[in-house]
């Protein structure tokens, strides 16, 4: 039985605490966005469509331009024709010429190698020309959509060409895509390398998951509703489950995934961001550093694992051939660019504990994987059962615990499960749900997941971006798992069929403590 929650006045009001620059319709700062990796998939699939959505929402400054940098030899006109064709395929809304052509005419292309000093000399010349033609006021946003091994080199070259200096009121900001390092040591080295050139407030370590409305709404949901915050603690919550599941395989990225795996690819960034937003203490304000201070405290409070803990509280898996969404698919070891005896995990499940007053003894179960039955990301809060004493002499056999589920994708929303009496002469209980769906109440907003993040970077709001200490704290939690798994290669891969919810050990992780994963299919 499903009961739809009702919202009387769904029009979102603008709270008076929101800074003027962030109010709807306020355009971002004039600037030039320089995309290293301008001919890559990220630019054509996500970044350009996101910029179009910002432009049609009046959130992009008229004094704005884009420079794509790539090694493919082509002219600006050829690049524009390619982008124009790509938009027909990847735009999230129908492309209207009146909105698209002005943006397309401000897109430029520079042939160059990110490791070549001459590229940055020519980039400086092009930036000066674009500044003059489009009055972008000398503000530059550099987006590093390159392979991770080039992050440090690009920043070093920007510094050497004096393209990262902030002076005369001009700002310079750098967006760095994940992964930020591949372990704790490499993350520390990369932080030191880029901090030689950039100040921390110039660095925007991006996680596109935080561009999703429901992720951002976790803070609003927790701290603006008086009925939830008082019970958001160990006294009332039994455990928390976080699931980030994908139906796809590695999609031709076997070479990258072989060096990453599910643990590195998802846990230190996506999943730890969800954990920190779900569990952090109330910040003193929504200023970027106030929010990130509380997130960093949570990441540092996650209980470090000993080698024995890793064996007991972590599970890894790799998919074999199977059936996903009615289609037979190959196993991971049969994917292109994957070793036939690969030991890379495509599934991870962990039991994490947070050593602080609010969350002591509350287990946090997380799982993420490829080739699972459904594409879904969610945070499920399972509350403690009510005392049964009142129902001892009734037909009621047990009480179903209350459950709050924050759905992040594909259908963003929130649902609450609670018990209600089933109509009839006998006292029988049934579980009912109140569902809130973003699209139903606020309408659907065309989004790639990057609009909010690009806009925030243009206005200088780093709230949704990771700080250096947060990155290192996340890797500190993951590093003991990496070390043990490296020392003890798996002997039973593949250990789950494509289309299953991971290996049996992933279920046992909860069941041996009397818990079970939420039935997402119900």
The residues assigned a catalytic role are 270
Spatial contact of 467 and 290, defined as CB atoms under 8 Å apart: no
- What is the H or E stretch that residue 506 is in? helix 504-511
Q: In the 3-class helix/strand/coil scheme, how is 325-344 assigned residue by residue?
A: CCEEECCHHHCCCCCCCCCC
Residue 155 makes CB contacts below 8 A (sequence gap 6+) with: 144, 164, 174, 193, 194, 197, 198
Do 116 and 70 form a contact (C-beta atoms < 8 A)? Answer: no
Tokens of 219: 């803070």
Distance of CA 10 to the CA centre of its chain: 26
What is the C-alpha separation between 460 and 400, in angstroms, rounded?
A: 46
CA dist., res. 369 & res. 375, Å (int) = 10
What residues have CB less than 8 Å from 399, skipping those under 6 apart?
385, 386, 388, 391, 419, 429
- List the one residue out of 345, 369, 304 whose CA is nearest residue 500: 369
Q: Write out the E strands in 61-187.
A: 64-70, 107-111, 140-144, 172-176
Sign of CA dihedral 214, 216, 220, 223: positive
Asked if omega into 179 is within 30° of 0 (cis), the reply is: yes
Backbone angles phi, psi at 65, to 5 degrees: -150, 165
**CA quadruple 358, 360, 363, 367: dihedral positive or negative?**
positive
**What is the torsion angle, in degrees rounded to the nearest 10, for the CA atoms of residue 91, residue 93, residue 96 and residue 99?**
-80
Phi, psi of 83 (to 5 degrees): -60, -40
């Amino acid at each position: 039985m499903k009961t739809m929650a009702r919202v009387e006045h769904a029009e979102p009001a603008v709270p008076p605490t929101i800074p003027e620059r962030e109010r709807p319709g306020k355009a971002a700062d004039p600037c030039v966005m320089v995309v290293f990796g301008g001919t890559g998939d990220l630019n054509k699939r996500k970044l350009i469509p996101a910029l179009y959505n910002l432009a049609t929402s009046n959130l992009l400054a008229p004094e704005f331009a884009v420079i794509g940098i790539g090694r493919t030899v082509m002219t600006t006109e050829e690049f524009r024709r390619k982008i124009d064709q790509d938009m027909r395929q990847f735009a999230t809304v129908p492309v209207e010429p009146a909105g698209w052509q002005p943006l397309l005419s401000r897109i430029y292309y520079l042939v160059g190698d990110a490791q070549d000093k001459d590229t940055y000399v020519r980039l400086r010349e092009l930036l000066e020309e674009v500044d003059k033609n489009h009055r972008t006021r000398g503000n530059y946003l550099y987006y590093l959509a390159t392979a991770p091994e080039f992050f440090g080199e690009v920043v070093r070259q920007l510094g050497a060409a004096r393209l990262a200096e902030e002076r005369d009121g001009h700002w310079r900001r750098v967006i760095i895509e994940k992964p930020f390092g591949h372990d704790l040591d490499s993350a520390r080295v990369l932080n030191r390398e880029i901090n030689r050139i950039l100040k921390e407030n110039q660095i925007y370590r991006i996680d596109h998951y935080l561009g999703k409305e429901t992720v951002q709404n976790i803070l609003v949901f927790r701290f603006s509703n008086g009925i939830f915050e008082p019970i958001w603690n160990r006294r009332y919550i039994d455990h928390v489950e976080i699931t980030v599941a994908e139906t796809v395989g590695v999609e031709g990225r076997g070479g990258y995934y072989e060096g990453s795996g599910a643990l590195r690819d998802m846990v230190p960034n996506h999943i730890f961001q969800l954990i920190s937003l779900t569990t952090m203490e109330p910040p003193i304000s929504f200023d970027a550093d106030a929010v990130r201070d509380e997130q960093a405290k949570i990441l540092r409070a996650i209980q470090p694992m000993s080698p024995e803990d890793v064996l007991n509280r972590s599970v890894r898996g790799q998919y074999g051939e199977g059936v996903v969404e009615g289609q037979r698919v190959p196993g991971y070891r049969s994917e292109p660019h994957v070793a036939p005896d690969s030991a890379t995990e495509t599934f991870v499940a962990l039991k994490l504990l947070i050593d602080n007053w609010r969350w002591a003894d509350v287990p946090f179960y997380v799982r993420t994987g490829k080739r699972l039955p459904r594409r879904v990301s969610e945070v499920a809060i399972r509350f403690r059962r009510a005392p049964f004493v009142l129902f001892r002499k009734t037909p009621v056999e047990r009480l179903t615990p209350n459950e709050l589920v924050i759905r992040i994708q594909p259908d963003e929303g929130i649902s609450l499960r609670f018990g209600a009496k089933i109509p009839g002469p006998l006292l029988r209980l049934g579980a009912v749900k109140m569902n809130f769906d973003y699209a139903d109440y606020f309408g659907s907003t065309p989004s790639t997941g990057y609009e909010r993040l690009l806009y925030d970077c243009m206005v200088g709001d780093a709230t949704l971006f990771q700080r250096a200490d947060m990155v290192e704290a996340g890797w500190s939690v993951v590093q003991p798992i990496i070390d043990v798994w490296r020392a003890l290669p798996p002997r039973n891969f593949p250990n789950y069929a494509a289309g299953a919810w991971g290996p049996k050990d992933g279920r046992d992780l909860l069941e041996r403590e009397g818990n079970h994963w939420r039935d997402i299919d119900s």
